[in-house]
Amino acid sequence: MTGEQFLNSIRHLDYEITALDHTRTRLEGQRQDILDRAMSNAALTGVWVQHSAGSKTEALGVQLADMITPVEAARRIERLQARVNRKIDELVDRKERALTVVERMQSPRCKTLILQRYLNNLKWTTIADLMGYNEHYVRVDLKREAVAEFSAIFERPTENYLSFRKQM
């Protein structure tokens, strides 16, 4: 894995965690909806209602039958949360390794770019504004310089980095 691929993997992992967490939040909302519907329809429990085809009570019964149970929703949420936690652990590991490389970099501008873009996930325009440079210069020229400096250290065959690259 090259230094640039490693840096991009950090950004992608961050986005993946955000997407998984969004899914988890949506599932929690669905679970709560199920529980709310069950509570509002609790009065119907044990009551037999005769209805015609297409009536509101039949429609409600079909909706409830198609929904997952609160227990199943809780299981899905739990599995998703465990996956999010594993991804967060992986992200923390990668960011720590990236910081180790960044600490060894010489150029303060290159360090800043790597930190802001790949570890803090800022947009190019924001980084350019913070650094006081033109966005094109930051996105093209400074990025090329920063990634080259990062890669030179990351790809150097030392024990620390070799062991990590073998894990990937």
Per-residue model confidence (pLDDT) at position 39: 67
Q: Which residues, 6 or more positions from 140, have their beta carbon under 8 angstroms from its beta carbon?
A: none
Per-residue model confidence (pLDDT) at position 166: 57
Residues of the chain predicted below pLDDT 70:
38-67, 158-168
What's the CA gap between 106 and 94, in Å, rounded? 21
Per-residue model confidence (pLDDT) at position 73: 80
pTM of model > 0.95? no
Per-residue model confidence (pLDDT) at position 128: 98
Helix (H, G, I), strand (E, B), or coil: what is residue 133?
A: coil
What's the CA gap between 116 and 120, in Å, rounded? 5
Per-residue model confidence (pLDDT) at position 47: 47
For 65, phi then psi, to 5°, come to -70, -30
Question: Which tens digits make up the pLDDT trace of 128-152?
Answer: 999 999 999 999 999 999 999 999 9
Which DSSP category does 132 fall into?
T
3-class secondary structure for 25-63?
Answer: HHHHHHHHHHHHHHHHCHHHCCCCCCCCCCCHHHHHHHH
What's the CA gap between 117 and 62, in Å, rounded? 49
Per-residue model confidence (pLDDT) at position 114: 98
